[in-house]
Amino acid sequence: MAFSQLGLNDRLVQGILATGYTAPTAIQARAIPLALEGRDIIGCAQTGTGKTAAFVLPILNHLAEHSEPTRDKRPRALVLTPTRELAQQIEDCVTDYGRFMKLRSVSIYGGVSIEKQFKHLRIGVDIVIATPGRLLDHLDRKTIDLSNVAILVLDEADRMFDMGFINDVKKIMARVSKERQTLLFSATISKEIKALAATIQKNPETIQIGEERKPIETVSQHFYSSPQDMKMDMLLFALEHESMDSVLVFSRTKHGADKITKRLERANLKAIAIHSNRTQAQRQRALAGFKQGQYRVLVATDIAARGIDVDGISHVINYDVPTFAEDYIHRIGRTGRATATGDAITFVSRDEIKHVKSIEYFIGKKVEIKKYPTFNYTPAAHKTEHAAAHSESAGDGESAAAPRTRTARPHSDRSDDRRQPRDNRSAGERRERKPASSGPRVERPTEERREWKPRTDKRRAPRVENTVVKRFDRNAPGSERRTPRVEGSVESRRTSPGTAGKFGGPKRTGSTTGSKFGRPGGAGKFRSTTGTGRADFSTPVKKREKPSTAKTESYSTGAYNDSFGSFRHSPTMSANNDTDWKKLIETNEGTFRKKLKKIFTRSED
């Protein structure tokens, strides 16, 4: 059957023939006539059987026959896809098949500037191919109106469930007109997809091509046992000894994909990686370079398994066994597309045998895990090969088997401080900063350096504190002034007004008439024995005690004069303490002279 017999528009048939296709596939031959009638369809077929053209051609035919006389900027067809690569692939198909039709299309997905998408939507488009996340952003910004959509397509619906897009799809469905035609295509039909179809479709027609869980028959499958640490050696061995023109390698993780790519590049193999951590521009360049033959190996993750549609992929290598059996079907479906043949190779380690069992249960077929032919499983052989490859890539010219000798470096070049000779310089020399210039370091002479030395020529002065003392004066009651208190000296004792000796001092024996610091009837600031301004310096007494009857050598009370030579302690001072106080007074002669002179000058006034 030819495309012209399906009832398609002449301009559309002309565009299909220009791409090189002459006859439709099984899924296309059954789905296109029903779609042209306006029926809702559930299409299920293996990966690589041409499901994309099965819904793109009916959309283009509907838009060509129902062209509006007055152009409306709202889109008339919407296609939802799970990945960016798949959205770009569908847009390329629309452009190729509709090259002779005046239709506008745009792909909307994340990872690129949204401003360009705004520009296309303002001009007006007929077909929108979008991922659910970015389309919701446009709906929230009110930059797109889906009320005029006549055909809605859900491509790779099973993958949308796996990626968690189903809730976003339901939100988008609420924005689309209910008077629409809904087409749903998937490689597998689960219970969740059937439940979704029952809510968004009206009496859908189910089309099943081939067995749902069976890989396409044009792909030959091979399973080889390999320890995890030998998988890279086995991959290099297969690429070097097998005729593999265009190879697609699948890794379970993004880090693993980058690691494989770097190892292949060190082996002088042109390889590039594609995964979700790459920017959209990097992913497009990698895919375009792989299609054009610039790279022999393309390393990808499962996120890109649905969006890679490259003609001529000869081999698909599963470096890691997929955790889910459905991913295995989609991986090997990248080869053997459109009646072409291909090979699928899977490396299986001991920990991945359980995943192989789930694949056997899913496809309903027993697989045989065997050893890779002519591959040396001895670890020592691969170590020698790694050394030879490393020496060749480094350009040493040395033999791989010959051990590399390590040349000892001088102590000054070593970075390990523990191996450096002991530094005998002083702390000041080690703290010396290097000059700003790049020339040799210039050391200052030792005699020019200023080093700290303790002062030994002067004695340390006693610490002086300021203490607040109550001033009992009739004229200024409650007033305060600060008087110096010399630490280590004889401290004057203060008594409260109207009492005598409250703090342990002797009772008042004289009058304080004419004294500035006292008043009649109580003890003054200083205890005076003669009333002539002579101070009584005595040792502090914590508790009042009875006078001692012991005989002690005492001195008579001396009077103060400027020479300071006739000063003597009070009779309560013992002879032993007298020697100590004399030393203290002689040491601090200047301080005592100034302070006491100032005090008694005020009292005599």
- Domain presence at residue 384: yes
Contact in structure between 149 and 79 (CB atoms under 8 Å): no
- Tell me, what CATH number does 204's domain have? 3.40.50.300
Burial 117-156 (b: 16+ CB within 10 A, else e): beeebeeebbbbbbbbebbbebbeeeebebeebbbbbbbb
| Dihedral of alpha carbons 121, 125, 126, 130, sign | negative
- Domain presence at residue 425: no
pLDDT above 80 (res 32) = yes
pLDDT of residue 491: 44
- Domain presence at residue 493: yes
Domain co-membership, 47 together with 192: yes
Domain boundary among 388, 421, 438: 388
Angle between helices 254-266 and 379-394 (to 10 degrees): 70
Angle between helices 166-175 and 191-200 (to 10 degrees): 10
Domain co-membership, 374 together with 479: no
Domain co-membership, 238 together with 334: yes
Q: Which domain holds residue 331?
A: 219-388
- Domain presence at residue 316: yes
Total domains in the fold of the chain = 3
Domain co-membership, 174 together with 66: yes
Please tell me the least confidently modeled range out of 4-13, 420-429, 539-548. Answer: 539-548
Domain co-membership, 192 together with 290: no
- Cβ-Cβ contacts under 8 Å for 583 (sequence gap 6 or more): none
Domain boundary among 209, 242, 274: 209
- Domain presence at residue 428: no
Domain co-membership, 252 together with 174: no
- Domain presence at residue 361: yes
Give me 452's structure tokens: 């700290």
Of 100 and 164, which is predicted with more confidence?
100
Q: Find which of 286-290, 473-477, 552-556 is predicted with most confidence, using mean pLDDT.
A: 286-290
Q: How confident is the model at residue 147 (pLDDT cuts 50, 70, 90)?
A: very high
Q: How confident is the model at residue 98 (pLDDT cuts 50, 70, 90)?
A: very high
pLDDT above 80 (res 160) = yes
Structure confidence by residue, pLDDT tens digits, 469-526: 444 455 555 544 444 444 444 444 444 444 444 444 444 444 444 444 444 444 444 4
Please tell me the least confidently modeled range out of 124-128, 311-315, 331-335, 513-517. Answer: 513-517
Q: What percent of the chain has pLDDT over 70?
A: 61
Domain boundary among 388, 406, 430: 388
Domain co-membership, 347 together with 495: no
Query: Closest Cα partner for 375 from 498, 280, 242, 465?
Result: 242
Domain co-membership, 384 together with 513: no
**Statement: the pTM of the whole predicted model exceeds 0.85:** no
